[in-house]
Structure 1
Amino acid sequence: MKQTEAVGMIGVLILAAGASTRLGKPKQLLQYRGQSFLRHTAKMAIALTFPWCSLMVDTSILIQLILSCQLASAVKTKLK
């Protein structure tokens, strides 16, 4: 494997699947600087310009993200 090929394999993985049972609501959706903490984290990861960026969330978080359109906005930001 060439060094340039190895560098292309490096990316960002955001682990945001915690249940937040003690808090009583998903920490990932708490507001931070005018947006959800998860959206802020995704935007920061995208700004790093690695070849790939993946997000791992719990199903309940994913449903809430889709319903609130935050996931669509994060993807749209990546496509710009």
Structure 2
Amino acid sequence: MARKALSQTKKAQIDQEKHDLLMARAVIRYQQELAKPDSEKRDGLQKVCQIVSDEYYRDTKQRVVLNYTTLQNLAKGGRTKA
């Protein structure tokens, strides 16, 4: 039996939850990169966003774009508008 279609608002809410989850993963990954010793090569903000986005795409076949500036603000302890 088929379900009824989701409203545009509900779709946006689901997409935002996915994005927030991925940003949380990216913050953790970026903090791990910063914890590496200075002698090792570290990935930057843009690279971390790309890696997390690519991992999610491999798992779900859905592309989610992450903004490195938002990652920088969240890594410094900032909060999202939501």
- TM bin, normalised by shorter chain, reads 0.3 to 0.5
**TM-score scaled to structure 1, two decimals?**
0.32
Higher-RCO chain (CA-CA 8 Å, sequence separation at least 6): 1
Structure with the higher fraction of residues in strand conformation: 1
Query: Which structure's CA Rg is the greater one?
Result: 2
Structure with the higher fraction of residues in helix conformation: 2
